[in-house]
Amino acid sequence: MKFVNLIDYEALETQFDHICEPITEITDEVVKFCHNLAQVMYDYDGIGVSAPQVGINKRIIIIDCSENKNETIYLINPEILWQSPKESQKKEGCLSYPGLVLPISRPQRIKVQGLDLNGKIIEFEATGLYARCIYHEIDHLNGISFTRRATRQVRRHLMRKWLKKHKNEQ
């Protein structure tokens, strides 16, 4: 876990359906990796990131949905304990798909549990953007990108457009 940077979406997609491994011990190396991963999130102006997005298939997510970008939440081995049946649809993006924005339905409310950097269990309820972001990042840990949460029609239309543009820019 040395150099940390985003892998491209094609590399990420080879991991589709791959379930990331839990962290068994929070070593100094893990903590250092988490800090580096957070830095990637801030460097790219994201509000969330997961370890597989930098090519590390471990169950670590980081989010910061605060306005001033100064409330980093580290979640190791995060789990969704409960989710509201009620969903809301909002536009969503992902650091691994720069410029792609898709309308995605997600539960309005979730209850999450995970470990913090000290190995302490944290449990809380999240709503709105927080719920959406945490859900999106945990999806990554299970090999599911947000493109697969979009309706088929949306995916066909918007993905095709994005792919064309993305390929041209490369």
Minimum distance, C-beta of residue 41 to Zn ion, in the bound complex (Å): 10
Q: Does 41 bind Zn ion (CB under 5 A)?
A: no
Render the burial of 73-93: b for 16+ CB within 10 Å, e for the rest. Answer: bbbbbbebeebeeeeeeeebb
Beta strand residue intervals within the chain, DSSP E: 48-50, 60-63, 73-83, 87-92, 102-107, 109-115, 121-127
Please tell me the count of residues contacting Zn ion according to CB under 5 A.
1
The three-point CA angle 88-111-27 to 5° equals 125
Minimum distance, C-beta of residue 17 to Zn ion, in the bound complex (Å): 16
Minimum distance, C-beta of residue 123 to Zn ion, in the bound complex (Å): 23
> Is 23 or 62 the residue whose CB approaches Zn ion more closely?
62
> Is 25 or 45 the residue whose CB approaches Zn ion more closely?
45
Q: Does 6 bind Zn ion (CB under 5 A)?
A: no
User: What's phi and psi for 94, nearest 5 deg?
Assistant: -155, 140
Which residues, listed in sequence order, are joined to residue 62 by a DSSP beta bridge? 49, 74
CA distance 149 to 61: 19
Asked if 79 is an active-site residue, the reply is no
Contact letters (x/-) for Zn ion, 59-98, by CB under 5 A?
-----------------------------------x----
Minimum distance, C-beta of residue 25 to Zn ion, in the bound complex (Å): 26
Active site residues: 137
Residues that bind Zn ion (CB under 5 A): 94
